[in-house]
Amino acid sequence: MSRILIAIDPLVRLLIVAILLASLLPVTGEHRAIARTVSDSGIFLLFLLNGLRLPRRDVLAGMRNWRFLLPLSAWCFLGMGAAGWVFWQLGVSLLPEQVALGLLFLGILPSTVQSATAYSSLAGGNVAASVVAAAVINVAGVFITAPLLALLAGTGAVDIDMNGLQRIATILLLPFFLGQIAQHWLGDWVREKRSLIGWADKLCIAIAVYVAFSGAVEQGLWTLVALQDWAVLLLAVVLFLALGFGGSWLLSGVLGLVRADRISFLFAGGQKSIALGAPLATVLFPPAVAGLLLLPVLVYHLLQLVLSAPLASRLSSRHG
């Protein structure tokens, strides 16, 4: 348990530092464009590294396991997306507009890769299925999340134009495919430097969060989101969390999956990825909007780690 928590905690600490730094020393004025460039460069690097270390054979193998992958994808994007739409509609009158929209954005994000796999391993799940499914769903999320957000929210709430799609192609898709091409030469080196590359990932995500929150702080984040708003947001995320994990477990049972696959389905279906959420929000939206939009994602990310550790331990003890 301690080894798993140590592996995950650094990202949580970096996110907290990024939020505190943005609150105290937000990037403003003429420095905003420079910070956005640094953030975009970090995101480019993040997806280049993802392309380098994800073996093509694993992606192809995962895509062939339709009995596991197809329902998991449908749950991550459509089931949780529908729940996000309901939470968004309920939250419109109770939360600031962009924070409420963040509940919908949360619902249509893919699952995590690292922590879902780690907790699946701890609980006795199918680790190979977890790694491949989470990786494939994250790649699919680059293509699916933005159009699905525009479709569910409507053009009045989300204005994703050709410029936004071009930024996705340039900053997210291009580096991933370049990484896949260069994998023959650099893939082994990246996998050997797992610790260093892992820190590079975390720093890129933290920079994206810092830039997004700086824009939101400049627009008055801590006055726009009142104490009662935080209470409503926390309640909504807790309910969302219960639905995500409970629904994943029930659906895997309905599908008749074996216990190891059910455990993998549980963590891949219940968790949501800040690793894609932060870059995608900062690519699609200006920092002032992205910072508010990411609030539900950040709260969910922290709470899913709090829930996953005892849940994995309990599943492991029952299996033993």
Structural domain contains residue 148: yes
Model pLDDT, residue 256: 92
Angle of the 97-107 helix axis to the 127-153 helix axis, nearest 10: 140
CATH of residue 117's domain is 1.20.1530.20
| Residue 157, pLDDT score | 59
- Residue 8 within a domain: no
pLDDT at 113: 67
Say what the pLDDT of residue 87 is: 95
Provide the percentage of residues in the chain whose pLDDT is more than 70: 88
Give the pLDDT confidence score for residue 318 in this predicted structure: 67
Nearest-angstrom CA–CA distance, 34 and 163: 19
- Give me the number of domains the chain comprises: 1
Model confidence band, residue 84 (pLDDT cutoffs 50, 70, 90): very high
In a domain, 15, yes or no: no
> Residue 228 pLDDT more than 80?
yes
Could you tell me which of 18, 38, 10, 12 has the C-alpha nearest to residue 217? 18
For 246-299, write each residue's pLDDT tens digit.
999 999 999 999 898 899 899 989 999 887 888 888 888 887 788 889 999 989
Give a yes or no: residue 21 inside a domain.
no
Structural domain that includes position 154: 30-315
Q: What is the pLDDT of residue 31?
A: 80
Task: Give the CA diameter of the chain.
Answer: 59
Residue 249 located in a structural domain = yes
Place of tokens 């380098």: 52
Best mean pLDDT range from 36-45, 74-83, 138-147? 74-83
CB of 153 closer than 8 Å to CB of 101: yes
124: left (phi over 0), alpha (psi -120 to 50) or beta: left
Please give the Cα distance from 273 to 295 (Å, whole number): 13
Residue 6 counted as domain residue: no
In a domain, 258, yes or no: yes
Phi-psi group of 159: left, alpha or beta (phi > 0 → left; psi -120 to 50 → alpha; rest → beta)? beta
- Residue 208: inside a domain: yes
CB 40 within 8 A of CB 283: yes
- In this structure, how many other beta carbons lie within 10 angstroms of the beta carbon of residue 266? 30
**Of residues 54 and 157, more confidently modeled:** 54
